[in-house]
Amino acid sequence: MGAALALNIAEKGFPIAVFNRSPGRTRTFFAEAGDLAPRVVPCETLEAFVAAIAAPRIVIVMVTAGTPVDDQIAVLRPLLGPDDLLIDCGNADFHDTERRSAAAASGGPAFMGVGVSGGEEGARHGPSIMAGGTEAAWAKVAPVFTAIAAKYEGEPCAAQMGPGGAGHFVKTVHNGIEYADMEMIAEVYGVMRQGLGLDPAAIAAVFERWNRGPLASYLIEISAIVAATLDPETGRPLLDVIVDSAGQKGTGRWTVIEAQMLGAPVTAVEAAVAARNLSARREERRLGAEIFGTPAGNPPDVTVEALENALLAGKILCYAQGFGLLSTAAREFGWTLPLPTIARIWRAGCIIRSTLLGDMAQALAATPGADLTHVAPFTDILRRTEGDLRRVVAAAALAGLPVPALAAALAHFDTMRRVRGTADLIQGQRDFFGAHGFERVDHPGAHHGPWTRS
């Protein structure tokens, strides 16, 4: 990511010095920089790196999240001056960014935490950039970040989100949505493959068709390519030789943890993280199959069109949850997160870019603070697609095909359209065993039940 970002910066006309802890990597990078090499100064020590940059310096750190960032900051800080600016462009837990920002405020170079999305390709040719930090820091870096960012109809996909960890928080939620979006696509893939018996080539064709409709998005586009790709070694669909255990580096989990701490429901993301965790338990899955057998019910009674609608509904519900989490976080942390701008800078460059985000940006601007599902055109789309989401979840359950993120999104939707739910019983139980009290519907105050055990 760092190498790709450096080439992007150089390509946009900014001279850049580069350093990697492994000098061999720096040499290879420089040797492969081609036409851009004259704008790149390869450095083999941090001292040479800092000396190669004119003050006031802007220094980007793009290393593995966690301790490596702290280590890198620790060795860089003594070499930098108070007018310099240190930026962590990797994925970071926003609490770490808050801590690093606070530490920087007590002296030395200023610090920014900036979320960058788009994978290597995005970093090289135009990512989506979610910057945290002060207005003053943003003013210093905006010319570089807006130049290297993806452009949507000419508009740079880069913006300042708020102080301290706000940029990394937004990037974390972006990734949480990414997890849920990917999981839902994998779930409909499962229904098509394991339920309807479509082969990967046929599924690729379905994804390609969907990519020309309301589901058009980077993730559907690449899913079509992944499904269509053959293994050069065996000639089989590559999907068939990929181990079905999903990796994860932590951003989905961070989203869920923060959402839980804030009391904000992101059930589709929770289901997606849990699904990755379960996917990693291969031996337990094998044992489960041995003990219980894998359900081999009738093929699910759903069409490919119903799956398209179900995915659309699930996706809208998941994005509504993500934006809801951002709203709650903004209130809780005293940030003014620019939600319509966030939707706008996600329209290009980032992994979750999709045509829906344009409408989301408009809806969020037109109705600030509203739940996306309550706003046009999403209310109408949900009314139209809800039945298929329900049919797919029900048919998948009957066929023994797990669709946890779609089911979680549907359960959220059904819960949030029911005036009277079932928590009356929970309150009764809590009062019974813990004297926690409950509110009554007919008069105010805290009440207890006349519980007796016969």
Ligand X SMILES: NC(=O)C1=CN([C@@H]2O[C@H](COP(=O)(O)OP(=O)(O)OC[C@H]3O[C@@H](n4cnc5c(N)ncnc54)[C@H](OP(=O)(O)O)[C@@H]3O)[C@@H](O)[C@H]2O)C=CC1
Within positions 249 to 268, which residues make up the interface with ligand X, using CB under 6 A? Answer: 249
Residue 42 pairs in a beta bridge with 18
Q: What does the DSSP 8-state code read for residue 32?
A: T
Residue 119 marked ligand-binding: yes
Cβ closest to ligand X, residue 75 vs residue 398? 75
C-beta of 74 vs 291, nearer to ligand X: 74
Tell the smallest beta-carbon distance from residue 282 to ligand 5RP (Å): 18
Query: Rounded to whole angstroms, how far apart are CA atoms 225 and 205?
Result: 9
179 belongs to an annotated ligand binding site: yes
CA distances from 61 to 14, 76, 131, 143, 396 (A): 17, 10, 14, 18, 45
Residue 422 interacts with, from ligand 5RP, ligand X, none (CB under 5-8 Å by kind):
none
Q: Token pair for residue 107?
A: 């002296």
Minimum distance from CB of 62 to ligand X (Å)?
Answer: 5
Q: Is the peptide bond before 402 cis (omega within 30 degrees of 0)?
A: no
- Letters for 152-191 (x = contact with ligand X by CB under 6 A, - = none) are ----------------------------------------
Indicate which single residue of 25, 140, 285, 390 sits in contact with ligand X (rule: CB under 6 A): 25
Binding residues for ligand 5RP restricted to 316-355, rule: CB under 6 A: 351
DSSP-derived secondary structure letter, 191: I
Annotation-wise, does 211 bind a ligand? no
152 is in an annotated binding site: no
* Near ligand 5RP in 99-118, by CB under 6 A: 117
Name residues contacting ligand X, limited to 86-105 (CB under 6 A). Answer: 90-91
- For residue 403, which amino acid is it? V
Indicate which of ligand 5RP, ligand X, none lies near residue 248 (CB less than 5 to 8 Å, by partner kind).
ligand 5RP
State yes or no: 447 annotated in a binding site: no
Q: C-beta of 268: minimal distance to ligand 5RP in Å? A: 16
Cis peptide before 265 (omega within 30 of 0): no
Q: Which of 8, 72, 101, 172 binds ligand X (CB under 6 A)?
A: 72
Interface pattern 390-409 for ligand X (x via CB under 6 A): --------------------
Angle at CA 2, nearest 5°, toward 145 and 138?
25
Please tell me the distance from the alpha carbon of residue 169 to that of residue 91, in angstroms, as a whole number.
Answer: 9
Which of 98, 120, 121, 171 is labelled catalytic? 171
Q: Whole-angstrom Cα distance, residue 384 to residue 379? A: 9
**Rounded CA gap, 320 and 176, in Å?**
12
Given ligand X, ligand 5RP, none, residue 72, with its beta carbon under 5 to 8 Å by kind, binds ligand X
- Sites for ligand X among residues 328-357 (CB under 6 A): none
Q: Of all helices (H) and strands (E), which one includes residue 113? A: strand 110-117
Using CB atoms within 10 Å of the CB of residue 298, give its burial: 0 to 12 exposed, 13 to 18 middle, 19+ buried: exposed
Which residues, other chains included, contact 217 with Cβ-Cβ below 8 Å and sequence gap of 6+?
181, 211, 352, 353, 354, 355, 356
Catalytic site residue from 121, 151, 153, 178: 178
Site for ligand 5RP in 356-375 (CB under 6 A): none
Does the protein bind ligand 5RP through residue 129 (CB under 6 A)? no
> Rounded CA gap, 60 and 57, in Å?
10
315 is catalytic: no
Instruction: Supply the DSSP symbol for 79.
Output: G
CB-CB contact of 299 with 358 (8 Å): no
Token pair of 170 as six digits:
């937004």
Q: Which is nearer to ligand 5RP, 163 or 349 (CB)?
A: 349
Q: Which of 28, 134, 248, 362 binds ligand 5RP (CB under 6 A)?
A: 248
417 CA to centre of own chain: 26
Burial class (CB in 10 A: 0-12, 13-18, 19+), 71: middle
Interface with ligand 5RP (CB under 6 A), residue from 21, 249, 384, 436: 249
- In the complex, which residues of this chain contact ligand X (CB under 6 A)? 1-2, 20-22, 25, 62-65, 68, 71-72, 90-91, 116-117, 119, 249
Active site residues: 171, 178
Which residues in this chain contact ligand 5RP in the complex, by CB under 6 A?
Answer: 91, 117, 119, 175, 178, 247-249, 251-252, 351
Annotated binding site for substrate: 91, 117-119, 174-175, 179, 249, 276, 430, 436
